[in-house]
Amino acid sequence: MLGVFQTSQKLRTSLRLLSRAGLPPVDLQVQLLLRGRSPQSATFSRELHLGPDGPASSPAAAPRRLPFSRVTVEDLTFFGKTLPGRAITDPDLVQSSNEDWLKSVRGSSEVLLRPQTTQEVSQILSYCHSRNLAVNSQGGNTGLVGGSVPVYDEIILSTSLMNSILSFDKISGILTCQAGCVLENLSLYLEERDYIMPLDLGAKGSCQIGGNVATNAGGLRLLRYGSLHGTVLGLEVVLADGRVLDCLSTLRKDNTGYDLKQLFIGSEGTLGVITAVSILCPRKPKSVNVVFLGCETFDQLLKTFQLCKGMLGEILSAFEFLDSECMRLLNTHLKLANPISDCPFYIVIETSGSDSDHDSQKLHNFLEEAMTSLLVTDGTVATEESKIKTLWSMRERVTEALTHDGFTYKYDISLPVERIYQLVTDMREHLGKRARSVVGYGHVGDGNLHLNVTSPAKDPALLASIEPFIYEWTAKFQGSISAEHGLGLKKRNYIYYSKSRPAVAVMGKMKTLLDPKGILNPYKTLPDDLK
Amino acid sequence: MSGRVLVGVKRVIDYAVKIRVKPDNTGVVTDGVKHSMNPFCEIAVEEAVKLKEKKLVKEVVAVSCGPQQSQETIRTALAMGADRGIHVEVSGKDYETLGPLQVSKIMAALAKKEDAQIIILGKQAIDDDCNQTGQMTAALLDWPQGTFASEVTLDGDKIKVVREIDGGLETIKINTPAVLTADLRLNTPRYATLPNIMKAKKKKIANVKPADLGVNLTSKLEVLRVEDPPQRQAGMKVETVEDLVGKLKESGKV
């Protein structure tokens, strides 16, 4: 019924009426699963995921709208006065912020606010808290689990204009900046000063550091520099009632009381709005090498990883993999040629060090060993910037290639490293001809698999075959159903596959403590059965 | 017919690197900056290796003129399939003034010494954009030249060259020995695969001095100043068409 989206008055009115009725407006990916599901999986699901609408709705679909206030003319006047020229209600401008990057979920917010300072964020939240208005904080809107866009008419609070770098200490490498700085811009700023950001991801051209911290983004460099839980030194957060929590320390070590910032890292905007970040940045490596290798079996790939850690150890900065299906998609849809011969598995290894002579020697020894012991059947090395970019794009552009292959179902799983590819083979067998492509790729060095399934069009029956099969498989091996993408809207009710009930109950208590009215990013991250 | 191909490869600042002008405006910063093989030289090497794979030539020799680091560039050519390398050592002041005239004298001397059948060079280098070395080398040797080649076919003792020119494509037939310069669409350079990278470590690179070839490196050119291009000025937004016309008139454009 809501297949085509035009910003016509009629449609908007009907949308408003529908959302008033409490029905989920649009969750394109998971409309009416019920028909496709086997009775057995429905029962299992019912036990774990009692949604407020009962067993009739899917765990990923949005729940009914909670009784928040609706935006009035008085509210708009306040916003207009607090943020002159930056309280946007023009539907054409608000539209793109209502829909996620994958075009899989869309909200019906009518207000987009763009503060420039922490003070403005504080004023907005204080007001919304008093008026019981729901707020959706939004950075670069590159999230993949429907967490960055409104579900209903939540006010969108964008950090895009909070893009100033506040300070950079050349000696310690500590960068302090506002939450809306785009990751790539921070990288360029640092590279000129001989430093780099401790994280890097495909979305770097659009994602903002506040969003990265709120989702505890992982990325391609985690293997070397660790997670944001380690590299973030301080945060400035505005709480649900507008109070500013200044934990923007730039100290490497500070054991004075509970480390509050850790709560907000990965909280997906549900405990507070991050407005500034101080982060520890590593020095820019003088010597970077990228190696693209081909392996016959996943077992050989794992052995290569072992060899790599042993012989390259301290200079290893990335270890990624992709399978032959990914290569096929890159060749077909993006016309990217395979740099080496066709193999079942491909590895991208990156080394970063301070001495190119030493690193080339280490790399040469490793490659010689890998080849003579037949762990690797083919490969190529790049030391030049331009070639390095080309080899990396083989891994970084798989996501893009998938979008050209049809409708994509994306999964981001953490598993014991030995089991990673077994999930892909089992899924292929399980789905058979129903799926167009089933591909596996990702941060194998971190035990993180990106499993994607494509079909010509959205297919509820296919989805019913994938879920909860994939989550049950993951839970069986004590893995994580969301390694780095977070829970957002789509995966909130699957949390019990990876976390125990007591743990989730404590999470619920924290949420109540910091956001008693529940106005920050409602309907997300925590499961619906926590009331 | 010796069936020997000489390929010139130049070490330049990698094209993905942001260039910075030295504070004293005498040149660009090269210290600690990533260097790599000139992209057009890569295409030249690829073409030479292809000819060898088709068994139309017997040996591919990669040549580079420059300091110690030029050997890395030769190694890359060896990893792509060249048989051996020649490093013509030029450093210090001589390297600063090394230009197309000097390199073409070296290439001509080497061509005679190595009894080369074909010389393939990149059409130009991405640092100086001279587009002169190939032409000068041909003139010094009194050999025919096929420049801006986008297609090369060996035909007995002649070479058919399709050239990229302003008006489109020009096909010529030249005698060997000849000089060819590679243009962008001649081929797509291969990635050096691991087995070849390993093999390349064992291939020989001979060391030669310009004096041994009887070449005089003095240059008659002097670089006066190197500057950044002018900064792009910010644009201006106007509200109405009248404003736009007014601003255009003000700046004298209309």
- Chain B residue numbers with beta carbons less than 8 Å from the beta carbon of A368 are 198
CA A206 to chain centre: 13
Interface membership of A368 toward B (CB under 8 Å): yes
- Chain B residue numbers with beta carbons less than 8 Å from the beta carbon of A386 are 14-16, 36, 39
Residue B112 pLDDT > 90: yes
Q: Are strands A287-295 and A378-382 parallel, antiparallel or unpaired?
A: antiparallel
Tell me how far CA of residue A507 lies from CA of A215, A276, A510, A515, A517, in angstroms. Answer: 16, 24, 5, 12, 15
* Predicted confidence band of residue B179 (pLDDT cuts 50, 70, 90): very high
CATH superfamily of B4-251: HUPs (3.40.50.620)
- Name the residue among A378, A381, A385 with its Cβ closest to that of B16: A385
Q: Identify the residue with better confidence: B209 or B193.
A: B209
- Chain A residue numbers with beta carbons less than 8 Å from the beta carbon of B197 are 367, 380-381
Please judge whether B194 and A381 are an interchain contact, meaning their C-beta atoms are less than 8 angstroms apart: yes
Distance separating alpha carbons of residues A451 and A470, to the nearest angstrom: 10
Q: Which of A366-370, A410-414, B190-194 comes out lowest in average pLDDT?
A: B190-194
Domain residue ranges in chain B:
4-251
Q: Output the pLDDT for position A27.
A: 41
Q: Output the pLDDT for position B34.
A: 83
Q: Output the pLDDT for position B235.
A: 82
Please judge whether B193 and A383 are an interchain contact, meaning their C-beta atoms are less than 8 angstroms apart: no
Instruction: Look at residues A179, A231, A244, A164 and name the one whose alpha carbon lies nearest to residue A200.
Output: A231
- Name the residue among A340, A383, A389 with its Cβ closest to that of B193: A340
Mean pLDDT of A363-385: 90
pLDDT tens track for A476-527: 999 999 999 999 999 999 999 999 999 999 999 999 999 999 999 999 999 9
Q: Output the pLDDT for position A29.
A: 36
Interface membership of A384 toward B (CB under 8 Å): yes
Mean pLDDT of A277-296: 95
Residue A422 pLDDT > 60: yes
Q: Are strands B168-175 and B158-165 parallel, antiparallel or unpaired?
A: antiparallel
Interface membership of B17 toward A (CB under 8 Å): yes
Q: Could you give the angle at the alpha carbon of A522 between the alpha carbons of A519 and A528, nearest 5°? A: 130
- Chain A residue numbers with beta carbons less than 8 Å from the beta carbon of B194 are 293, 367, 371, 376, 378-381
- DSSP state at residue B190: P
- DSSP state at residue A64: P
Tell me how far CA of residue A407 lies from CA of A218, A459, A460, B142, B197, in angstroms. Answer: 25, 9, 11, 63, 41
Please judge whether B36 and A386 are an interchain contact, meaning their C-beta atoms are less than 8 angstroms apart: yes
Instruction: Look at residues B39, B50, B36, B80 and name the one whose alpha carbon lies nearest to residue B62.
Output: B80
Query: Would you call the peptide bond into B177 cis, given omega within 30 degrees of 0 as the criterion?
Result: yes
Query: Would you call the peptide bond into B67 cis, given omega within 30 degrees of 0 as the criterion?
Result: no
Q: Output the pLDDT for position B234.
A: 82
Residue A15 pLDDT > 70: no
DSSP A218-274: --TTHHHH--HHHHEEEEEEE-TTS-EEEE----S---SS--THHHHTTSTTSS-EE
Task: Name residue A169's beta-bridge partners.
Answer: A174
- Name the residue among A341, A367, A389 with its Cβ closest to that of B16: A389
Burial A330-341, CB ≥16 within 10 A → b, else e: beeeeebebbbe
Mean pLDDT of B151-159: 94
Please judge whether A378 and B16 are an interchain contact, meaning their C-beta atoms are less than 8 angstroms apart: no
Q: Output the pLDDT for position A324.
A: 96
Residue A392 pLDDT > 80: yes
Distance separating alpha carbons of residues A227 and A379, to the nearest angstrom: 29
- Chain A residue numbers with beta carbons less than 8 Å from the beta carbon of B37 are 384
Residue A103 pLDDT > 90: no
Please judge whether A376 and B194 are an interchain contact, meaning their C-beta atoms are less than 8 angstroms apart: yes
Residue A39 pLDDT > 80: no
Interface membership of B32 toward A (CB under 8 Å): yes
- Chain B residue numbers with beta carbons less than 8 Å from the beta carbon of A381 are 192, 194, 197
Interface membership of A386 toward B (CB under 8 Å): yes
- Across all residues in chain A, what is the average pLDDT? 89
- Name the residue among A364, A367, A386 with its Cβ closest to that of B14: A386
Residue A157 pLDDT > 90: yes
To which H or E segment does residue B226 belong?
A: none
Q: Identify the residue with better confidence: B27 or A59.
A: B27
* Predicted confidence band of residue B201 (pLDDT cuts 50, 70, 90): confident
Which residues, 6 or more positions from B106, have their beta carbon under 8 angstroms from its beta carbon? B63, B65, B88, B210, B213, B215
Distance separating alpha carbons of residues A451 and A210, to the nearest angstrom: 26
Task: Please measure the distance between the N-terminal and C-terminal CA atoms of chain A and give it in whole angstroms.
Answer: 31
Q: Output the pLDDT for position B210.
A: 95
**What percent of chain A has a predicted confidence (pLDDT) above 90?**
80
Interface membership of A369 toward B (CB under 8 Å): no
Mean pLDDT of A450-454: 96
- Name the residue among A367, A383, A389 with its Cβ closest to that of B194: A367
Tell me how far CA of residue A203 lies from CA of A104, A118, A212, A217, in angstroms. Answer: 17, 25, 10, 11
- A&B contacts, CB < 8 Å: 51
Q: Output the pLDDT for position A232.
A: 97
Q: Output the pLDDT for position B240.
A: 87
Please judge whether B192 and A379 are an interchain contact, meaning their C-beta atoms are less than 8 angstroms apart: no
Q: Output the pLDDT for position A24.
A: 45
Residue A43 pLDDT > 80: no
- Name the residue among B34, B195, B201 with its Cβ closest to that of A384: B34
* Predicted confidence band of residue A33 (pLDDT cuts 50, 70, 90): very low
pLDDT tens track for A318-356: 999 999 999 999 999 999 999 999 999 999 999 999 988
Interface membership of B192 toward A (CB under 8 Å): yes
* Predicted confidence band of residue A531 (pLDDT cuts 50, 70, 90): low
Task: Name residue A291's beta-bridge partners.
Answer: A349, A381
Q: Output the pLDDT for position A16.
A: 52
Q: Output the pLDDT for position B1.
A: 57
Instruction: Look at residues A460, A447, A527 and name the one whose alpha carbon lies nearest to residue A488.
Output: A527
* B55 burial level (CB within 10 Å; 0-12, 13-18, 19+): exposed
- With residues binned 3-state (H G I as helix, E B as strand, rest as coil), the percentages for chain B, rounded to 5, are 30, 25, 40
